[in-house]
Chain A
Amino acid sequence: NAGVTQTPKFRVLKTGQSMTLLCAQDMNHEYMYWYRQDPGMGLRLIHYSVGEGTTAKGEVPDGYNVSRLKKQNFLLGLESAAPSQTSVYFCASRAGETQYFGPGTRLLVL
């Protein structure tokens, strides 16, 4: 039981490049979330999903897209990366009221 896993762990992008962050969970949770964490800002919700095939915007969705084609996977896409998207990205899945976080992806956009 791996819990919540994230791929990749670290990535460097140039401005304008695209990439996809993958989140996978093996706990059969319906709800999944993508957050970004910046120094002094806490965790801010980007997008979330309440089930396979559904997604919704969170607090800071601009510049990101998501897909939940399979229940166990939640993908976060950056179509054209900007330096302001340099951050640590955390995925989480939820059981009851508890959110279980993945180990994070560190993204640096130059």
Chain B
Amino acid sequence: GQQVMQIPQYQHVQEGEDFTTYCNSSTTLSNIQWYKQRPGGHPVFLIQLVKSGEVKKQKRLTFQFGEAKKNSSLHITATQTTDVGTYFCATSGAGSYQLTFGKGTKLSVIP
């Protein structure tokens, strides 16, 4: 099955700094999804990207899908304490019922 690698595993930032997490694959991906999990909570769907070079924004969050569809990134501008949590990327093969998750990037924001 398809695998995705996420880096970094952990990131500590000062409040107001920017944050980026990356999701990489050795094979072309059909799609990429991003989820956020708050401490003690459950994963919550953020967005799905399917097109080569696609860029989507949600307020301070910018999501990109690489031109070759082998990588994706999530960038948060001016982090806030509410951004704390673990961010996961996930992908499903074309026509597949299954999602494969990356191991996540845990974001800590220092006030």
Contact size range, B? 20 to 34
In contact, A42 and B104 (Cβ under 8 angstroms)? yes
User: Cβ of B59 < 8 Å from any Cβ of A?
Assistant: no
Of B48, B92, B97, B103, which is within 8 A of A42 by CB?
B103
User: Cβ of A84 < 8 Å from any Cβ of B?
Assistant: no
Of A50, A99, A100, which is within 8 A of B99 by CB?
A99
User: Cβ of A103 < 8 Å from any Cβ of B?
Assistant: yes
Q: In the complex the two chains form, what is the Cα distance from A102 to B44 in whole Å?
A: 10
Interface centre among A44, A48, A97 (most CB of B within 10 A): A97
Q: Main SS of chain A's interface residues? A: strand
In contact, A40 and B43 (Cβ under 8 angstroms)? no
User: Cβ of A1 < 8 Å from any Cβ of B?
Assistant: no
Residues of B within 8 A of A40 (CB): 9, 103
Knowing A48-B98, A58-B98, A90-B43, say if A43 contacts B88 (CB, 8 Å). yes
On B, residues with C-beta under 8 Å from A are 1, 9, 31, 33, 41-45, 48, 88, 90, 92, 97-104
On A, residues with C-beta under 8 Å from B are 31, 33, 40-45, 48, 50, 56, 58-59, 90, 97-104
The 9 closest A-B pairs by CB, nearest first: A42-B103, A101-B42, A43-B101, A42-B101, A98-B45, A101-B43, A97-B48, A42-B104, A103-B42
